[in-house]
Structure 1
Amino acid sequence: MATSSHNVDNVVRTLRESLKTLGFEVYPFKIGWYNAVVSQAHQLKYSADTLAVVVLSTPSMFENSFLPFLQRCSWKDIRDPVDQCVAHAISTCVSEHFSDQSVDISYDYEMQSNRKPKFLAQTAAHVAGAARYYQHTDIENPPWGNKKMFGVCIHPRLGGWFAIRAVLVWKDVEVGKELQQVPPPDCVSSQEARIKLLEKFNYNWQDWTYRDIVPTEESYSTRQREYFITPPAQRGALLRQWGFIPETETKTVNNI
C-alpha cells in the first residue's frame, strides 16, 4: 500500500483541479475518522488509514455541469438527470486521471442490499472538515424535549446551498501523519441560532430558509431553484419546456 505524502497530495490536487470548474469541492479524510463516529453497521470496510475523499456540489454545478450534461446526453437511459450528471463527472475524472489505481466510488443515492445507505453523507462531510453537522446533541436543554429532530450540515461559505454527492476511496493509498483532522468551522455557534436552524430544517425545510442561516457567498440561481422546487414527477416536463428534451423523444419523462 502506498504511503507517501506525495500520493495523497497528488490525488487531492488532481481531483480539485479537475472538478472545481464543474462546480464541485473535494475534501480528504481518513476512513478511521469516519468509522470512529458511526455505528458498526455503517462502518466502511477499509483500514483506518485508507485515503477517502468526500465530494460536494456547489450552486455553480447546475450551470457548469448539469445544463451542459443535459445538452449532450441521450435520453434513452436517463432516470435521474442530476444523479447521472454527478456520476458522469466523477467517474470521468477517475477514469482519466486514476485509471491505474483502485478507487471505489459510492454516491449519496446508493443503497446496500440491506437498504442502508452506502455511507452517511453528513457524517462524511463533517469528519472531512467540509461542513459542520448540527444535531440535537448540539443543543443544551432543547425546547422540543425528546422529540426526534434531524440534523443538517452547514457549509461555512455556502450555508445550506450545497449537496454531498459522493465518497471516493483510494484502496491502495494509506495516509500518514501528513493528513491531520481539522474540525469543520462552527459557523452556527450560538444556541439560539442552532435551535432556529434545526427547527427551520425539520418543520419548514421546503421553504429553504434554513439554507440562509449564515451569510453565503453563493446560492442557487433562479433556474436551479425552479428545477429543485418542481416535484420530481414533473421535472421531465420542465426540462422539455426548457428545450432539453426533444419533442420527438418517445420516452416518458415522468419521474426523472
Structure 2
Amino acid sequence: MRLQQALGTRVAEARPLAVGFGLTGLEVVLADGRHLAVKAGETDRGGADGLKLEAFMLGELARLSDLPVPRVHYAARDLLVMDFIENDAGGIGRSVERHAGELIARLHATPREHFGYARDTLIGPLHQPNPKATKWVPFFRDHRLLYMACEAHREGRLPSSLLARIERLAERIEEYLIEPPFPSLLHGDLWAGNVLVRNGRVAAFVDPAIYFGSPEIELAFTTMFGTFGEAFFAVYESLMRLEPGFHELRAGLYNLYPSLVHVRLFGSGYLSGIDRTLTRIGL
C-alpha cells in the first residue's frame, strides 16, 4: 500500500529481488508500465538519512557524469525505488571489462575542486567521512585508513597489534603513496556485484560509495576480488595514465581500506590479508 501511495499507481506484479545488508528487495511492475527495483527496511544504514543517502549518491553520479546508473523514482529513509536495470546476470568477460575501462576512465578524467565531498557518504552500510581537503594522501591516511581501523578496533574486530602496525604505516604513508594530479569523482565500491551486465556491456553501476579522491584507490579495489583484469586496465591506461608502482605496491596499500570495511562487516577472515600487506612492507 505504501509503495502504491508513494508512486501514485497500482503495483501490477512483484517478485523478490536479492539485496544486501538486512534490506528487503522487490522487482515490481506498475500498472503504468514502469519496471522498478525496490529496497526497503528499517536499518541504521546512513543514520537519519537511511536509503535517502543511497539515492543522493546515485543522483550525484547521474548529475556529474555519464556513468550508467539507475534513475531514482522515490526515496525515503526506509524506502528506495529506482529503475530496474535489465541484465542477463552474465559474468564480467573481456568485452565488459573493455567497456568498463572506458566508462571509469571518463569518470575519473574530469578534475574536481577538492578531495572529500560536500557531505559524508556510505560504503555499504558504514559511515564514510568526507571532509573537504586539498591533499589526497593526508585525506586517505586520516579519513580512510585510520578512521576505518579505529572503528574496527573500537568494535572489537581489529586486534590492538594490527592497529599499532597500521598506525606505524600511517606515520610513513607519504613514503608509499603519491598525490594525483587532481581529485576525481569515484564510484567508490567497484566489486562485481555492483556491475550489472547485458549483452557483453555494462548495463549499470549500482550501490555507490561516492567521494572525490584518487583514481588509484578505486582501481585498487577492482583487483581485490578480481572484478576487472588485464582487458580493463589496458583500456583504462590507454585513456588515463597510471604512475609506475601502482600494481606492485600502491594497490595493496589502498586495499587496506576495503579490507578494514570487510573486517567490520564480515569478521576476522580478512585480517590475514591485512597482515600480509603490512608484512610485505616490513611492518
| TM-score greater than 0.5 by the shorter chain | no
TM score, norm. by length of structure 1: 0.25
TM score, norm. by length of structure 2: 0.24
